[in-house]
Structure 1
Amino acid sequence: MSDTHAAGRYVEVRNPHGTGAYLLICEHASNAIPAEFARLGLPAETLTSHIAWDPGALAVALEMSRRLDAPLVVQNASRLIYDCNRPPHEPSAMPAVSEIFEIPGNANLSDADRQRRTAEFYKPFRDAVTAQLDARHDHPTLVTVHSFTPIYHGKQRAVEIGLLHDSDDRIADGMIKAARAEGTRFDVQLNEPYGPADGVTHTLREHALPRQIPNVMIEIRNDLIADEGAQIAMANTLCGWLNSAQQSLSLGLEETQGSGS
């Protein structure tokens, strides 16, 4: 049985039949821009930078998928065409400016242009996540995997791993407790280098909060996952923290249910 399922022209589900306790998502897996968009008017070298994708995130997510036996929903088009971690009504879904870069191909988009991109890139991705969740009866924990640039607007970021949450902090809190308990060498912070106020938790709000399923958004500084060895090691570390958080959550639920019986 294939370990990849096409869910749209640019969307695929890796390990679609995984039965682990998680559903993984990588919204910014690729810097690919379809030819008809003519690189959005950007030079080729700009499209290798963090504004076009999350370098290293897909490799980490794939290794986590393997270790956790978890399905992984992947968007294979650049976030500059459509950022699948943003809702259609937000300008940042199809940004005219990203950090210090102007995006000529996203300037002055018409409503029709935005609707076409939403239909072609966002809706198949959203539907693939929904289908995976609908097919499960065990309420999997939703985990999104991202990376971020070490230097943003000229300023160095000290945080190395961010554990982001919206109104549900159960998994993020459990993961940071696990990280600190093991004496991690990484600088790990909650809702850093950004958080819900920055509009980055759309996937969690769209898919996890309405279903009341545990969830977390993981951000990794991309210089820490620049090669295969580092990517595998990071995936191993994150899976350990995740499983610890998941176990603590399950034990807490059992105790709550037991006290109410």
Structure 2
Amino acid sequence: MVRALLDPSEGEPFEIERADGQSPVIFVCEHASRTMPRSLSGLGAKADTLTSHAAWDIGALATAQKLSALLDAPLIHQRFSRLVYDCNRPPDARDAIPERSEIHAIPGNRNLSDEARRQRVAEIYEPFRQALAELIAARTAPSRQPVIVTIHSFTRVYFGIARHRAIGLLHDRDRRLADAMLQLAEEQGISNAMRNYPYGPDDGVTHTLRLHAVQYGLLNVMIEYCSDLIDTELGQDEWARRTARLLETALERFHIDIHAAGPQQA
């Protein structure tokens, strides 16, 4: 019998901030934390792995929190490291519980029993999935449709290859919001944005969008920032402001007031 993954004193595997925010936007940050459950003893990984981008998306949570405050929008985020379970992956995805992340080995994820894998799903993924679904449902009405925006970051260098873009705007088969943002980005001084960069739907990174937005016809986008742009408070402030303005202008095309409840898209 596998013992409980989380002690009650460690709290829920997710947190919702500004649940009563008036904006139609719901921000999601799946890779928000590098915290490890005490029961896993760091998964046997090296200390530098547990502070690296392998364990979390550096700067993503702080940027999402600033966006949430600027727009008075709800934010839900994962409270434990994606090395325990990546909530932007379905349970059948091989990289939902990674044995290796780029150059980083994760010994504690090797040769997991089916029971141990099911436990990670039950204690981390399912509560997060259900909480996000309930948050969306609570804010959905015939005249009010939420907009789902997930916030991530990527490393400047990956497997030795430099990445030269500042921001990626990702989508699955629903490209409406990403298209609008990309069209507006350059005129707002964001000249190095790129579609489905540095990953795309074929890499399995649009799970949250597909599960919670695409199948319901909700506008959605995944935003990826280069982490060296948002690893300081100054950078987080700057990119939160720029992103808020970009979202506001893009959503005007869909007759959506980003700051408050009101008439929404059909």
- Normalised by the length of structure 2, the TM-score is 0.90
2:17 matched to which residue of 1?
14
1:188 aligned to which of 174, 193, 199:
193
**Gap regions ≥5 residues in structure 2:** 1-10, 257-262
Runs of 4+ deviating beyond 6 Å: none
1:140 matched to which residue of 2?
146
The question of whether the paired residues in 2 share the 8 Å contact of 1:30 and 1:77 is answered with: yes
1:174 aligned to which of 166, 180, 183:
180
How far apart, in 1, do the equivalents of 2:84 and 2:29 lie?
A: 15
**1:113 aligns to 2:113 (yes or no):** no
The residue type equivalent to 2:220 in the other structure is N
1:235 matched to which residue of 2?
240
2:58 matched to which residue of 1?
55
* Local SS of the residue matching 2:151: strand
The question of whether the paired residues in 2 share the 8 Å contact of 1:11 and 1:124 is answered with: yes
1:5 matched to which residue of 2?
none
How far apart, in 1, do the equivalents of 2:236 and 2:43 lie?
A: 30
How far apart, in 2, do the equivalents of 1:103 and 1:42 lie?
A: 5
**Gap regions ≥5 residues in structure 1:** 1-7
The question of whether the paired residues in 1 share the 8 Å contact of 2:168 and 2:223 is answered with: yes
The question of whether the paired residues in 1 share the 8 Å contact of 2:29 and 2:75 is answered with: yes
- Normalised by the length of structure 1, the TM-score is 0.91
2:260 matched to which residue of 1?
none
* Local SS of the residue matching 2:62: helix
* Local SS of the residue matching 1:24: strand
2:251 matched to which residue of 1?
246
RMSD across aligned C-alpha pairs, in angstroms? 1.5
Aligned residue-pair number: 246
The structural deviation recorded for 1:247 is 0.6
**1:160 aligns to 2:166 (yes or no):** yes
1:100 aligned to which of 92, 95, 103:
103
Over residues 120-161 of structure 1, what are the superposed CA-to-partner deviations in whole Å (9 max), with x where a residue is unaligned?
A: 000110011001111012111100000000000011001110
The structural deviation recorded for 1:249 is 2.1
The question of whether the paired residues in 1 share the 8 Å contact of 2:188 and 2:246 is answered with: no
The residue type equivalent to 1:239 in the other structure is A
How far apart, in 1, do the equivalents of 2:18 and 2:189 lie?
A: 32
The question of whether the paired residues in 2 share the 8 Å contact of 1:147 and 1:220 is answered with: yes
How far apart, in 2, do the equivalents of 1:183 and 1:241 lie?
A: 10
How far apart, in 2, do the equivalents of 1:226 and 1:13 lie?
A: 22
The question of whether the paired residues in 2 share the 8 Å contact of 1:56 and 1:226 is answered with: yes
How far apart, in 2, do the equivalents of 1:213 and 1:27 lie?
A: 19
